[in-house]
């Protein structure tokens, strides 16, 4: 099986609201972590074959997926870290748009999935109808 190389772009909302917090908290370790995350997203088809990526919806040329990651240098696993990315994979243009990068506690109490879905609906009109 050949693997497609996807381009990866971070949406401004994700940068402003969550990534800057990871960068501030983890400093140099975040740079290493982010590079690794981007490399995984470039091979998104392979990432879907693992247990750390889950398709939320797949309609037409767009797939919304949730992935898990750990910050470099921490002792936790990707599964137990509570760190997540929500991405939109555009199959027609081979691009991955990073919509959210967060720790589950960043969203507050309540249903995590309902909260991030609402954030996507409120801030990304193009994906509103997919959730």
Domain hosting residue 82, numbered range: 7-128
Q: Is residue 107 part of a domain?
A: yes
How many separate domains does the chain show?
Answer: 1
CATH number of the domain that 30 lies in? 3.30.2310.20
Q: Is residue 13 part of a domain?
A: yes
User: Which pLDDT tens digit goes with each residue over 58-79?
Assistant: 999 999 999 999 999 888 878 8
Taking the C-alpha atoms of residue 98 and residue 29, their distance in angstroms, rounded to an integer, is 19
pTM (predicted TM-score): 0.91
Q: Is residue 2 part of a domain?
A: no
pLDDT of residue 52: 85
Q: Is residue 1 part of a domain?
A: no
Question: From residue 47, how far is each of 22, 74, 94 by CA, in Å?
Answer: 22, 21, 14
Q: Is residue 20 part of a domain?
A: yes
Percentage above 90 pLDDT, the chain: 66
Q: Quickly state the pLDDT bin for 3 (edges 50, 70, 90).
A: low
Report whether pLDDT(1) > 50: no
The mean pLDDT value for 22-40 works out to 92
């Amino acid at each position: 099986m050949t693997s497609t190389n996807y381009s990866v772009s971070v949406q401004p909302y994700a940068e402003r609201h969550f990534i800057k917090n990871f960068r501030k908290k983890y400093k140099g370790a975040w740079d290493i972590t982010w590079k690794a995350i981007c490399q995984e997203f470039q091979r998104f088809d392979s990432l879907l074959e693992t247990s750390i990526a889950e398709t939320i919806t797949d309609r037409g040329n767009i797939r919304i997926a949730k992935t898990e990651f750990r910050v470099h240098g921490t002792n936790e696993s990707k599964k137990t870290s509570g760190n997540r990315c929500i991405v939109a994979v555009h199959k027609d243009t081979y691009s991955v748009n990073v919509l959210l990068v967060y720790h589950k506690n960043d969203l507050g109490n309540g249903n995590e999935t309902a909260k991030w879905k609402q954030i996507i609906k409120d801030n990304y009109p193009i994906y509103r109808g997919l959730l």
